Amino acid sequence: MWCSRTALGRLQRIAPCTVTGHHRAMSALPKVYVTRRIPPDGLDILRKSGQVQFELWDSDDPVPRVELLNKVKGCDGILCVLTEKIDAQLLDVAGPNLKVLSTMSVGYDHLSLEELKKSLLIWACIFCRGIRVGYTPEVLTDAVAELTVALLLATSRRLIEATHEAKTGGWGTWRTMWLCGHELANSTVGILGLGRIGVAIAERLKPFKVKKFIYTDVEPRTELANMINAEYVSLDELAKQSDFLAICCALTPETHGICNWNLFSKMKKNAIFINTSRGGVVNQEDLYEALSTGLIAGAGLDVTTPEPLPTHHPLYTLKNCVILPHIASASYTTRNAMSALAANNLLAGLRGEAMPKELKL
């Protein structure tokens, strides 16, 4: 059990309190709550640092909201994952001790940035400090790019459907057009949101003899685009020209639901739509209509809304839709690297030093 300075002060006023040197040293360490059983590399860094006392929600399942709110009270730091909503309620409950929030994710749509900015302004005036935020970009680029290519191939060449046919007796005599899919060779690949992951996807697809890469973003990304010889186009042109469309953008108010009927209606009938970014960028009802009516050829999704996607969701009924349970970064190497970076961000922030990867609010 943690003993806050406030509680300790109350106890001292009520009765004499003898504190050993060990307990005195422990009570002086910053208190941290870790909201999930993170990969071992990160936990080892925290344990061996000797710089924090931390409590861990030791489970692969999310910490219940009530438990989370109870445990963050008086914390100096929080290490969370993308399932924890860091909002005004949590920040208010955590209180003025909170200095650092470190998320083991590259996305930060689960963080209420406006509330964090507000807290920074108010607390800077009252308490002369604000909340700093660490996140884990770049270390998952290779894993996400690999998974995106795998999902694209599985969807375009109908691998999941073919496996099902083989297992259930659908595999009969050789047929000329049975289970035909779409090739990457001589195709145009579109990327919505060109960042490091988008570049890494294109680099992996280039050996498949892709004819052309195009992209759209809030503005041209010339330096990144030059790495893959990609052409900047409008969103409408991205939809019209792409044989394969990979969604790599962050979830923001501007991108929420950007992949909707307006986009799908402009795409080719042979187009393959792939999303490994965030489920919220897609209007899933519109995607279902586009797939079920043959407006586009197929879709591969590693992310959905909500997560997990209920098993009765209509998208599961479609043979031309491949759905994965958000596993793009799920390699042993990458998850440990994310865990280590999140731990190092937390420790650096608590020391008042530059974080390896800090999200500038």
SS (HEC) of 35-86? CCCCCHHHHHHHHHHCCCEEEECCCCCCCCHHHHHHHCCCCCEEEECCCCCE
Q: Give the strand order in the sheet containing 358-359.
A: 53-56, 31-34, 77-80, 100-103, 132-134, 358-359
Contact 192, 242 (CB under 8 A): no
Contact 149, 201 (CB under 8 A): yes
Question: Distance between CA 360 and CA 18 in Å, rounded?
Answer: 43
Six-digit token string for 220: 């041209």
State yes or no: is 326 an active-site residue: yes
Contact 134, 103 (CB under 8 A): yes
Six-digit token string for 186: 């001589």
Catalytic residue, chosen from 22, 256, 312, 326, is 326
Contact 278, 248 (CB under 8 A): no
- Residues designated catalytic: 326
